[in-house]
Amino acid sequence: MRWVFAVLLFLAAPLWAQSYPDYDRTTITDRADLLTDAQEAALDTRLSALRRDTGVEFAVLTLASQAPYAAALSLEDFATGLFDHWGIGDATRNDGIFVLVLSQDRAMRIELGAAYGREWDRVAADIIDRSFLPAFSNDDYATGIADGVEDVIASIALPFRDGADAPTGNDSVTTWAAIMGFIAIWLVAARRKIGDWATRLKSCPKCGHRALSRVRNTLRAATTSMRGEGETRLRCSQCGYEKRETYIIPTRSSSSGGSFGGGRSGGGGASGRW
């Protein structure tokens, strides 16, 4: 009978087995392919600068689904286990931050390092509701990730780094300061989109109509050792006028291809579904 039990144990093992995906970079690993090369490079640059300037390690992972890795675990346990498996954050400060997006599961989580007290969980929940979920509900993952990451930096990463307490529900001044800081950061990040939109107000140099549009395409993605190349195409829908120009995409920060600092999570954070 022992061999029968061994066979049954072997066959049942996949039911409770769990594994974790590897990371491509310590900033953004887009396994669900929700971002373009340019969007991924911009997020890598932003999070690499945060780590360089503040020491805070902030990682984003997108997956289509949790099921292939740990179907039996809750979202919260999966995110905590993955955070610890990667070792996000400085091992002494434990101030790492992890954002997990599961596009097919329509679920996400902000996981915080062990140093963040439970009072920061509510801040994370507010960020999910105001910055991630509105765009995710419309399947606009690129906007949701970009806006959400900036909100996490402005509302959690930087205040905690500066020794501030988590804002309370009655602290309207702190709340408005965080919102205004987030808006300012978003406007800086959106300046290229605003410039593309403003192109529509210009007259076509050929026919004079205000029918111009401008789109950008990545021709060659940047790496840590080589700059990338993009193309801007200006086109008039009235007369067919077209003008193409190339631009340089800066190299990725080499720190993003390294390793994490060995931090751990205390299970804090917040989850959301749409």
Cα separation, 118 vs 271, in Å, equals: 14
Query: Are 56 and 184 in the same domain?
Result: yes
Domain holding 51, by residue range, is 12-189
Query: Are 44 and 163 in the same domain?
Result: yes
| Average of per-residue pLDDT across 47-73 | 96
pLDDT at 197: 63
Run of H or E including 16 = helix 2-16
Query: Are 232 and 109 in the same domain?
Result: no
| Average of per-residue pLDDT across 255-266 | 83
| Average of per-residue pLDDT across 11-21 | 60
- The number of folded domains in the chain is 2
Query: Are 235 and 110 in the same domain?
Result: no
Q: Which of 3-7, 22-26, 90-94, 145-149 has the lowest mean pLDDT?
A: 3-7
- Cβ proximity of 35 and 75 under 8 Å: no
pLDDT at 5: 46
Is residue 271 situated within a structural domain? no
| Average of per-residue pLDDT across 242-256 | 67
Query: Are 140 and 223 in the same domain?
Result: no
Is residue 91 situated within a structural domain? yes
pLDDT at 110: 98
- pLDDT at position 26 over 70: yes
Nearest to 181 by CA among 153, 142, 160, 161: 153
Query: Are 124 and 212 in the same domain?
Result: no
| pLDDT tens-digit series, residues 163-196 | 998 877 554 444 555 555 555 555 555 555 566 6
- Cβ proximity of 202 and 212 under 8 Å: yes
Query: Are 38 and 152 in the same domain?
Result: yes
| pLDDT tens-digit series, residues 197-219 | 666 778 898 998 888 887 777 77
Mean pLDDT of all residues belonging to the chain? 84
